[in-house]
A and B are shown apart, each in its own frame.
Chain A
Amino acid sequence: MPGTSVLDDIELIIEDIGGGGKPPASRNGGDSGGGGSRVPGSSSTRKYAIAIALAMVAILIFFMAMVAAFLVLRRTSTNWIAFHVPVLLWFNTVVLLASSGTLEVARKRQAVSDEKGFKRFWTVTTILGIVFVVGQVIAWRDLVAQGIHGSASLAVAFFYVFTVAHAVHLFGGICALLYVGFRKFRHSEVTRVAAAEVTSYYWHFMDGLWVFLFVLLYLGK
């Protein structure tokens, strides 16, 4: 085995700002992992955006696996009794859709540096999100009070599983809303604008997912 050689003594060329796989010069070509349009220093924002995008893929697959089971069992199972979704869910849906709207208004305010307006609409969004989850809890309690349990029929079981799983994921979104709303972003590597943007992706995704699940439960009864 050769001992220490001149190659070992050559120090690494160290760059201060990090990240991204951009080639040092154009001649190096190749695919650089989409580095072209990147602004130096924005890497940390992109990092969270990519993370949330991948997380959304994972969540989508999680729900789609269950949707596949839902669609198959709806046709094949003998234990499928038609079940009408509670009326309260219509109200909840409107609340959640409205929250996506207020979130966008908040971000618009943020874009024009209207910090107060941002705070106001961001808080409204958070409250609407909480109202949605509370509404879901009331809907479950009503059902349980009527004696409609998950063991009654697979249709009911799927209703509970879908709504609870969605509510749990949405709860994560509410935590993110609270975090962005209340944290002071003075010494952090991300700005409030970036954090709000990443949160908005997730929130709209949860919104869209809810609409999909609601339509599925409504039509699939």
Chain B
Amino acid sequence: MRALFSANHKSVGLRFLWLALFSVMLGMTLSLVMRAQLSQAGGVYANADRYAAITLLHGSLMVFFVLTAAPQCGFGYFLVPLQIGAREMALPLLSGLSFWMSAASLVAISISILLTPANGSLLWLLGVTCFCAAMILASLNMAVTVIELRAKGMTLPRLPITVWAWFVTAILSLLIFSVLVASSVLLLCDRLAGTQFFGLTGILITATGIWQRWFWFFAQAEVYVAMLPCFGIVTHLLATYSRKPLWSERIAVLALCAVGLFGFCIWGEHMFASGLNPYTPLVFSMLASSLGVPALLLVICWLGTLWNAKTRLTTAMLFALGFVSLFLSGGLSGIFLAKREFAGGSTGDAFVTGHFHLVMGVAATFAILAALFFWFPKMFGRRLNETLGKIHFWLTFCGVYMLFMAMHWIGLFERSFPPGTVVRVHGLSGVVGVATIATVSAQLLFFANFFWSLTRGESAGARNPWRSTTLEWFVPSPPPSENFQGGVPVVFRGAYELGVPLAGEDFVPQHLAPEQVAKLL
């Protein structure tokens, strides 16, 4: 009970992960309902309104509570103080507050589907506003922690790339969620006080529902809020399991910062399709395409790290590699969408659905799973079962490719007909349906593994099962409440001194002083 209300960074982080787990289960169930609806001509399960509400709930649960909250707040809260050598977050009160506001928002958003459309949408909006405020508090807390509470010797170049990613994301989310709150306040005024900000004479003059306008206004930057921590996690894991220093670490860090910067500038991109007068479509289109540059740099760093490496193919590494693969294929289809003519009038079709699920949803989920397999021993003192994990990985990996590639094809196929033609692609729709069921069932394997390992899993054994260099692996698992007994550690080197032979090992931990290294040599 005390753990439930504690503002300790580790328990807040774990609570965020539990929240994400609950949302993922609910969101996945909803996606099954949606698929079932789509597989029947005319839809038998729900009318159009109900179907739209289910889609909205699926999207908000997955985007907000899984993709945004899990990598940034779940793993971020748990790991940032441990990795930078601090005892607690800078502002523990905000840690607790941000969690409870997120939880309240989850309740509001989930309940909203049960109400009438008018009340439901109002409650949904309140829930989203509350979530945005929570994320602003969380990112404020995160940014201050990284700026101010780094251990002695933990200079910026020595920060693990994960911390960099969480930091850049914190700054980015501070900016975009503030804008998000501003527009939701205006929208709330429209709903509650009868103002006309979004009305017929207001900001966005379109015939579509407020949801779509609202969503695209921020969704693009939100993608980067979700993706950046995943980049950090995957980069860290690739280096650790390749047993090689991260290839051109500085460039990787700069690329992360650039992704954050472009991510903030790019929001106009999706307005091509949603009806806001695109002031400068060319600029946005160029920005959208130029995002490819830092993304490409990151990919080069990953490949450089993997080059000639003796990789350890653990489940966590498989998921990290899966992320790279999904990100590449998703990114390729994204190049088409950065073209204005192609994106215009195309929201909601299967190509776009396939694209953003592949690059955002599934890729980010892979990174979250990779992180979970990697840090599970640290969090719970036990390990997830590797064999089950690998089976789960391969089933999921094949499943999502079947599912979302087929969706891309359906989208392309539909585009080859004049707009307005109703096309039903029976064969491919069948593939999508089967792949959905297979992928979702494969997740049951994961849930079984997760809950079984939580209580019965193999004990973590050695403190540092993955032979990692960062500080969190040199405290007991799970870490004690103040992380480092009696103070904070001193750091002497960067996070990626891997592949260096020392005392029968091939890495140098960050906290090893030069004299200690000399003694061991």
Which A positions have Cβ atoms within 8 angstroms of B? 1-8, 10, 12-24, 28, 30-33, 43, 46-47, 50-51, 54-55, 57-59, 61-63, 65-66, 69, 72-73, 77-79, 149-151, 154, 157, 160-161, 165
Contact check, B197 vs A19: say whether CB atoms are below 8 A apart: no
Contact of B178 among A4, A62, A69, A72 (CB under 8 A): A62
Chain B residues contacting A10 (CB-CB under 8 Å) are 509, 511-512, 516
User: How does the 8 Å CB contact mask read for B138-165 relative to A, with 1 for contact and 0 for none?
Assistant: 0011011001111111111110000000
In the complex, A2 Cα to B507 Cα: how many Å?
A: 12
Q: Across the interface, do B487 and A58 meet the contact criterion of CB distance under 8 Å?
A: no
- Contact residues in A for B185 (Cβ distance below 8 Å): 66, 161, 165
Report if B387 contacts A (CB, 8 A): no
List residues of B (154-211) whose CB comes within 8 Å of A's CBs.
Answer: 154-158, 174-175, 177-179, 181-183, 185-186, 189, 193-197, 199, 201-203
The distance from the CB of A2 to the nearest CB of chain B, in whole angstroms, is: 7
A149 to B195, CA, bound (A): 8
The answer to whether residues A151 and B195 also contact, given A14-B485, A61-B179 and a CB cut-off of 8 A, is yes
Top-9 shortest CB links A-B: A21-B150, A65-B182, A151-B194, A79-B201, A157-B195, A12-B489, A61-B178, A14-B487, A18-B488
Contact A54 B144 (CB under 8 A): yes
- Whether A5 and B504, one on each chain, are in contact in the complex, defined by CB atoms closer than 8 angstroms, is yes
Residues of chain A within 8 A (CB-CB) of B520 are 6
B471 at the interface (CB under 8 A from A): yes
Task: Determine the residue in chain A with the shortest Cβ distance to B492.
Answer: A24
Question: Are A13 and B203 touching (Cβ within 8 A)?
Answer: no
A–B Cβ pairs within 8 angstroms, 9 of them: A5-B505, A8-B464, A14-B490, A20-B149, A32-B156, A51-B140, A57-B174, A62-B182, A79-B196
Of B143, B195, B463, B511, which one neighbours A150 at CB under 8 angstroms? B195
Q: Are A20 and B189 in contact (CB under 8 A)?
A: no
Q: Let me know if B136 is at the binding interface, CB within 8 A.
A: yes
Instruction: Please indicate which of the listed interface residues A16, A21, A46, A69 has the most CB atoms of chain B within 10 Å of its own CB.
Output: A21
CB distance A58 to B464 under 8 Å?
no
Instruction: Closest B residue to A21 by CB, please name it.
Output: B150
Chain A residues, CB < 8 A from B178: 58-59, 61-62, 65
State in angstroms the CA–CA spacing of A62 and B152 once bound together.
35
Are the CB atoms of A31 and B467 closer together than 8 Å?
A: no
Q: Beyond the given A13-B489, A61-B179, please list 8 additional residue pairs across the A-B interface where CB-CB is below 8 A.
A: A6-B505, A7-B502, A18-B149, A23-B153, A24-B153, A47-B91, A54-B143, A157-B189
**A77–B355 alpha-carbon span in the complex (Å):** 36
Q: Which residue of A lies closest to B181 (CB)?
A: A62
Closest CB in chain B relative to A202 CB, distance in Å: 13
CB distance from B487 to the nearest CB of A (A): 4
| Size of B's binding interface in residues, CB under 8 A | 70
Which one, A17, A21, A54, A63, contacts B154 given CB within 8 A? A21
**A160 CB, nearest partner CB in chain B, Å:** 8
- When distances are taken between beta carbons in the complex, the residues of chain A under 8 Å from B193 are 149-151, 157, 160
Q: Is B513's CB within 8 Å of the partner chain A? A: yes
Pick from A15, A43, A59, A160: contact of B490, CB below 8 A.
A15
- Determine if B474 is an interface residue (Cβ-Cβ < 8 Å): yes
A161 proximity list for chain B (CB < 8 A): 185-186, 189, 195
* Cα–Cα distance between A2 and B149 once the two chains are bound (Å): 33
Contact B157 A30 (CB under 8 A): yes
The reply to whether B151 and A21 form a contact with Cβ atoms under 8 Å apart is yes
Smallest CB gap from B486: residue in A: A14
Q: Which residues of B contact A3 (CB under 8 A)?
A: 461-462
Interface centre among B156, B475, B486, B507 (most CB of A within 10 A): B156
B90 contacts A by Cβ under 8 Å: yes
Contact (Cβ within 8 A) B464 A21: no
With a CB–CB cut-off of 8 A, which chain B residues contact A32?
A: 155-156
- Proximity bits, B480-521, A CB within 8 Å = 1, else 0: 000011111110100000000011110101011100100010
Chain B's closest residue to A61 (CB) is B178
B213 in contact (CB, < 8 A): no
Interface positions of B from 20 to 65, Cβ below 8 Å from A? none
A20 touches B150 (CB 8 A): yes
User: In whole angstroms, what is the CA distance A11 to B8 when docked?
Assistant: 24
Please give, as numbers and ranges, the residues of chain A lying within 8 Å of B84 by CB-CB distance: 21
CA distance A6 to B154 in the complex (A): 23
User: B15 near A: Cβ within 8 Å?
Assistant: no
> Is B117 located at the chain interface by the 8 A CB criterion?
no
Cβ contacts under 8 Å, B12 to chain A: none
Do residues A73 and B203 form an inter-chain contact, with CB atoms below 8 A? yes
**A12 and B474 form a contact (CB under 8 A):** yes
Could you say which residues of chain A place their CB within 8 Å of the CB of B143? 50, 54
Nearest CB in chain A: distance from B265 CB, A: 14
Q: Which residues of A contact B175 (CB under 8 A)?
A: 57-58, 61
Contact A154–B201 (Cβ < 8 Å): yes
A168 CB, nearest partner CB in chain B, Å: 10
